[in-house]
Structures are given as C-alpha cells and as structure tokens.
C-alpha cells in the first residue's frame, strides 16, 4: 500500500512524495505536537553554512497579497553545532533528513559541508541552496552579486565539486529569477545532480509609503506563498520537458489541489513551504488528500501522475 | 520542552465592542485556557482564504475556566476581517504560544507589583493581574498598581477590569483628557521619584519606544522589569525566524524565547523603531 506513494530521489527512497521546504520547518522540533512529523516524506532543514550566521537585521518578513516576503539571511548555528545539537533531534522523527547547505564566503564550502555530512546515516540527501536571494555572494564563479543559480556554468561547477565530495543523493535548488530556468536545470543534471528542486523565492520588494522605506530592512526579499504558484507550476512544466532526473516542485502549495498541479506539471515529489507557517498540518493533510485523489481516480501510483498534463492543441 | 501547543477551532461564545475600534471575543477552548500563562498569545486565522495569508498574533487577555478572551484593535484588513466574526461561529487558532511572564516570586509572592500598559499593551496584562491576584501573598497590604497610558480618554482600555480585580489604577493620557497629562512612563517616573510607588517588580507591555523608556527608568530605580514585545510574525511558533530581536545573548525569537524579556536584556538602541 505505501508503495503507491513512494518515490525515489536518486538512491533515496521516500515513503511518500510530500516534503517540507528548507527554512519553513525550523529543525522540526518547533512542529512537535502541531503535526504528525513522522508521516512526512522527508524534512528539508533550514540552510546550514560552515560558520554560524546571525542573519539579517529586522524587519525580516512582511505580508503581501496572498504571499509574504522574507529576508532572514540564512540564520543558522553553523554545521558543527547543527550536527551536534539538531541532527539527534531530527533523527528521532524517523523521517529522511535532507540537509540544505550553502556557502557564505567561498564556494569551496559546499564540498566541505557535504564531507561533514557523509558520515551521518540519518542524512538521506543534500540540497544545494544556490538560489537564496538574501545573502550577498561574493563568489568569483558567479560574478559579484549574482546568485549561483543564475549562471549555468557556476551551477555546474558547484554540483560537480559536491558530487566528488559525497555519494549522498544531491538535490539542486533552483531560482526562478532567471531568463530560462531549463538551462540551469540541464546544467545541474549534466553535472551529476540526482534531482532538482524548484522554485526558490522570487525576488520582490514592498514599500512603506508613509516612511518611503522598504518594508524589509535589506530592501529586496524573497516572495513566497500562493502568489507565486502559477510561476512555479509553469517552471516545473518547462523543466520537465528538458530533463530526466526527478523534479521536486514547490512554490505556494497550500493544499491537495495545489500540490496536484505540481505533480501533473512534472514533479515527482512536492514540498510544502510557507503553508507550514499558517497551517502546520498542511503537509500531512496533503498526503492523505493525494491518497484519496489516487484512489478515486483509480491511479495505481503517484508516478503515473507526474507530467500527466493533457495539453490543449 | 514539554510545553504543549494546540491548533483548535473554538466556538466564539461572546463579543463586546468598546467604541468603534476595539472588540473582545470570548472563545470556549478548554485546552488553551487551561495551559495558558499570562503574556502568552494565540495565532488567529482571520479568513479561510489565502489572503490575508498569515495568522495574526493576539495576546491572551483573560481566562475564565474553559474560556479565554482576546482583545483586539481594528488596525488593518486582518483585524477588520476578524471583527466580522460573530458569536456562534468558529475561529482557527494556534496556542498558547511564547514564554509568558514570570510572576511567581520564589518565596513569598511579589509584594508590590506594578503593571505598566501603553495603548493595546493592556491586552495581556489583565490576565497577568488575574494571576498576580491569585498568587499574591495574602499578608501583603499593597495592592497591584496599574498604570494605563493612552493617547486620549477614548483609548483608555480595561480600567474597569483592573479595578474589579482590586488593582489601584492610574491613568495617563497624551492630551490630559483623563488622569495625568503625559506619557505613562512620565507618570511612572513621577511616582517612583516621589516614592509613592515602591515596586519590587514591574511588568510592561506597549509600543517599543515606551518599553525602551521603561527599561531606562527601571535600571535607574533598580527594579527588575519584564516587558512583552510586539512584533510582526509569520508563524508565531519559532519556525520562520522572522521576528527576532537583538538581546545581550544574540538574536532571540520574539515568538518563542519571548514575547516577554527582561527589559535589561534587550539591546534597545539598535532596535527602537
């Protein structure tokens, strides 16, 4: 029965195709009692960097029409403290842990982080966050001020360097802030990524007209929530035409119906993000919703739904 | 970390308006009512639609048996929508959230607590007064003092509630239309200087500039002060890291490590908006 929902991300088999997005589920302990954590397909952690990061100044978030902006700035305790303090807590859930990693100064930090995670069995996969819009990258490889995920060559170089450092499945998280997301997705596939996750937040801005200041201290911030869903679905559909590796779809998924859109567009799995803040049970409700949908439509496996969009001619 | 948090759909059992801009909802909710501590809050979904998207954090105003109250000011679209909810309907809430006030003195109860409220800061402080009254040393003759600050007489809230609890209530208004003319912190300064009040603990809630001033006064008069901060929150339970505040021990989450902090632990200079 569970095989109906199970999918593979590289060598990682997950019992159901519903995960929670990096940065929206804390380190899972925040959700204890609020949702049945062990039912999740996988948990993607808050992005971890080599050194601890204090994060950006306040205000860091604001509400926007059917969405929100955030510029947290990858606040995290650093990889060593994360392994020591957070992994044991995450491990207890029994759910595969996908650790999101990013560099904050030098791209060599990506393989260094991956090596530190190699020994930890509970880590089912590694997600490369090359698309966070809220940290200033000084990476030579991507050119000053650009995201790695905005450059196919830079994306390829990072994936290759991490591929050499670990045998864990690699998920490359892509940015929607590009002209053609399929180019970046193909670069990630070609460089050895086991899956791609899309989309990260759209870069946005909101202004307090009384103060004539940006509502977020950093000015620019990442837009998430239902407001970005159609953009995300479109990008999943575009990428699905061009690559063979699994797509993990995300961007404003709030409920079963919005999750199904992503499968039909080409996702093998989906991830619930902003919805966790509003309805902590969103992801588990979606799991039962998908089961029900498959049953009532007599579909044997979620895999049959992936990319099943009927195009209008 | 044994603190339980619930997502519930309590029935709205009562609604009262105070003027046009303020209303009080009573909610029948045994789980949250029994666990709640003063200073804690709930996150309320004001609409079942995707817009407005986020929940609204509201302080637990008062607890009576299996029910609790929230007091709300209509300030925007979210609170406007919430004001449209009627008794008999249901509300999607998560709580109780945050740490709450520490109101138990180790040995004998706090002998002379002073509550300082600015504007909507009164909301969680009524619940605090209820609990202080319950736990106060019965031998103590000093009542709980409450200083309420507001812009004008019309915005003075909860005077009756505090008086019904036996509190000694003093009012300050910016325009002098009721009580002391000036800010509530000026009133506190005057009462401390004249030694009319000799508090052993001060509890404050209100806008940040007021709490910052309160911290300065309490430092000068060496009174331990706990302040409850307001913040825009996206989740309310520690997941998004959106509502951090700078403290002497680094960034802390207002929703999780707070909203109540020791006034002297906050780094106000960098954060007073």
Among A193-207, A224-238, B133-147, where is mean pLDDT lowest? B133-147
> How close A160 comes to chain B (CA, Å)?
31
The topology (CATH level 3) of A2-55+72-201+224-304 is: TIM Barrel (3.20.20)
Instruction: Flag if B242 and A61 touch (Cβ within 8 Å).
Output: yes
Chain B nearest CA to A259, separation (Å): 15
Q: Which of B54, B234, B266 should be substituted to probe chain A, the one whose Cβ sees the most A Cβ atoms within 10 Å?
A: B234
pLDDT tens for chain B, 273 residues: list them: 457 999 999 999 999 998 889 999 999 999 999 999 999 999 999 999 999 999 999 999 999 999 999 999 999 999 999 999 999 999 999 999 999 999 875 445 567 899 999 999 999 999 999 998 887 655 555 689 999 999 999 999 999 999 999 999 999 999 999 999 999 999 999 999 988 888 889 999 999 999 999 999 999 999 999 999 999 999 999 999 999 999 999 999 999 999 999 999 999 975 444
Domains and CATH numbers, chain B: 6-97 (2.40.30.10), 113-265 (3.40.50.80)
Could you tell me if B254 lies within 8 Å of chain A, comparing CB atoms? Answer: no
Whether residues A54 and B251 touch (CB distance < 8 A) is answered with: yes
pLDDT attached to residue B104 = 72
Among B1, B240, B244, beta carbon nearest to A58? B244
The reported pLDDT for the residue numbered A136 is 61
Q: Chain B partners of A63 at a C-beta cutoff of 8 Å?
A: 52-54, 232, 234
| pLDDT for the residue numbered A311 | 83
Task: Work out how many CB contacts closer than 8 A connect A with B.
Answer: 92
Kindly report, residue by residue over B12-55, the tens digit of the pLDDT: 999 999 888 999 999 999 999 999 999 999 999 999 999 999 99
pLDDT number for residue A1:
47
Predicted confidence (pLDDT) per residue in A100-151, tens digit: 999 988 889 999 999 999 999 999 999 999 988 777 654 444 445 689 999 9
Residue range A91-97: average pLDDT? 94
Tell me what the mean pLDDT of segment A158-173 comes to.
97
The pLDDT, as a whole number, for residue B110 is 61
- Between β-strands B260-262 and B225-228, what pairing exists: parallel, antiparallel or unpaired? antiparallel
Chain A CB contacts of B271 under 8 Å are 58
Could you tell me which chain A residue has the CA closest to the CA of B271? A58
B259 prior amide bond cis, ω within 30? yes
Q: Please provide the average confidence, as pLDDT, over all residues in chain A.
A: 94
Q: What ipTM score was computed for the predicted complex, to two decimals?
A: 0.91
Give B-chain residues touching A31 at CB under 8 angstroms: 237, 239
pLDDT of residue B270: 56
Percent of chain A clearing pLDDT 70 (strictly above): 96
Sequence-separated contacts (24+) of B72-76 with Cβ below 8 Å? B72/B22, B72/B23, B72/B24, B72/B25, B72/B123, B73/B21, B73/B22, B73/B120, B74/B20, B74/B21, B74/B22, B74/B23
Q: What is the chain A residue with the closest CA to B251?
A: A54
The CA distance from B89 to the nearest CA of chain A, in Å, is 19
Region label for B20, one of left (φ > 0), alpha (ψ between -120 and 50) or beta (otherwise): alpha
Contact criterion met (CB < 8 Å) for B53 and A26: no
- Tell me how far apart the alpha carbons of residues B71 and A211 are, in angstroms, rounded to a whole number: 28
Buried b (16+ CB within 10 A) or exposed e, A177-192: bbeebbebbbbbbebb
Q: Do A225 and B235 touch (CB under 8 A)?
A: no
d(CA B206, CA B247) in angstroms, rounded, equals 18
Q: Nearest C-alpha of chain B: how many angstroms from A226?
A: 7
Chain B residues close to A279, C-beta within 8 Å: 7
- Confirm if B46 and B78 have CB atoms less than 8 A apart: yes
**Which stretches of chain A sit within 8 Å of chain B by CB?**
23-26, 29-34, 46, 54-55, 58-63, 65-68, 70, 72, 75, 225-226, 254, 274, 276-281
C-alpha A278/C-alpha B44 separation (Å) is 9
Is residue A132 part of the annotated active site? The answer reads yes
Residue of A21, A25, A26, A204 to mutate, interface with B, max B Cβ within 10 Å = A26
Give the integer Cα–Cα distance in Å for A192 and A41: 23
Residue appearing with tokens 């519930």:
B8
Mean pLDDT of A146-160: 94
Least reliable range by pLDDT among A182-196, A252-266, B36-50, B188-202: B188-202
Contacts of A210 (CB under 8 A, 6+ apart): none
Which residue, among A47, A277, A281, would best test binding to B if mutated, counting the most B CBs under 10 Å from its CB? A277
DSSP state letter for B204: E
Contact B38, B31 (CB under 8 A): no
- For the segment A72-77, the average pLDDT, to the nearest whole number, is 93
């Amino acid at each position: 029965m569970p095989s109906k929902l199970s999918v593979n991300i590289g060598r990682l088999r997950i019992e159901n195709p519903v995960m929670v997005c990096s940065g929206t589920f804390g380190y899972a302990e925040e959700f204890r009692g609020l949702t049945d954590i062990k039912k999740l397909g996988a948990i993607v952690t808050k992005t971890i960097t080599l050194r601890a990061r204090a994060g950006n100044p306040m205000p860091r978030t604001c509400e926007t029409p059917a969405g929100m902006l955030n510029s947290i700035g990858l606040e995290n305790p650093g990889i060593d403290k994360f392994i020591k303090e957070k992994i044991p807590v995450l491990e207890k859930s029994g759910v595969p842990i996908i650790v999101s990693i990013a560099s904050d100064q030098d791209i060599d930090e990506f393989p260094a982080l991956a090596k530190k995670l190699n020994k930890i069995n509970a880590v089912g996969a590694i997600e490369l966050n090359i698309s966070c819009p809220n940290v200033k990258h000084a990476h030579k490889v991507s050119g000053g001020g650009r995201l790695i995920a905005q450059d196919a060559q830079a994306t390829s170089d990072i994936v290759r360097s991490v591929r050499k450092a670990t045998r864990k499945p690699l998920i490359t998280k892509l940015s929607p802030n590009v002209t053609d997301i399929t180019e970046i997705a193909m670069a990630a596939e070609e460089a050895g990524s086991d899956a791609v996750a899309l989309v990260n937040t759209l870069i946005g801005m909101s202004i307090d007209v009384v103060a004539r200041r940006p509502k977020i201290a950093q000015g620019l911030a990442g837009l998430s929530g239902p407001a970005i869903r159609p953009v995300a679905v479109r990008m999943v559909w575009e990428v699905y035409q061009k690559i063979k590796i699994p797509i993990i779809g995300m961007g404003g998924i709030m409920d079963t119906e919005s999750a199904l859109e992503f499968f039909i567009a080409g996702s093998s799995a989906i991830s619930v993000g902003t919805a966790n803040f509003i309805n902590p049970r969103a992801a588990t409700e979606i799991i039962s919703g998908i089961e029900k949908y498959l049953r009532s439509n007599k579909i044997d496996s979620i895999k049959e739904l992936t990319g099943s969009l009927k195009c209008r001619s | 970390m044994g603190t339980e948090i619930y997502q519930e759909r309590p029935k709205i059992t009562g609604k009262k308006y105070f003027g046009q801009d303020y209303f009080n909802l009573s909610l029948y909710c045994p789980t949250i009512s029994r666990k709640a501590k003063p200073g804690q809050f709930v996150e309320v979904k004001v609409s079942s639609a995707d817009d407005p998207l986020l929940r609204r954090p509201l302080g637990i105003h008062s607890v009576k048996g299996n029910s609790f109250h929230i007091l709300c000011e209509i300030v925007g679209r979210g609170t406007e929508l919430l004001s449209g909810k009627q008794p008999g309907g249901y509300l999607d809430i998560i709580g109780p959230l945050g740490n709450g006030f520490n109101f138990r003195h180790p040995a004998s109860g706090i002998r002379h607590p002073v509550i300082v409220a600015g504007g909507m800061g009164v909301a969680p402080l009524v619940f605090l007064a209820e609990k202080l009254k319950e736990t106060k040393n019965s031998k103590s003759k000093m009542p709980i003092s409450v200083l309420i600050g507001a812009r004008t007489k019309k915005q003075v809230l909860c005077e009756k509630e505090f008086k019904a609890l036996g509190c000694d209530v003093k009012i300050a208004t910016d325009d002098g239309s009721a009580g002391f003319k000036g800010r509530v912190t000026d009133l506190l300064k005057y009462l401390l200087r004249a030694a009319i009040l000799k508090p052993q603990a001060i509890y404050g809630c209100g806008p940040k500039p007021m709490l910052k001033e309160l911290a300065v006064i309490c430092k000068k008069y060496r009174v331990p002060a706990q302040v409850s901060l307001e913040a825009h929150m996206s989740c309310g339970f520690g997941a998004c890291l959106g509502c951090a505040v700078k403290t002497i021990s680094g960034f802390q989450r207002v929703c999780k490590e707070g909203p109540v902090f020791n006034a002297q632990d906050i780094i106000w200079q960098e954060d007073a908006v």
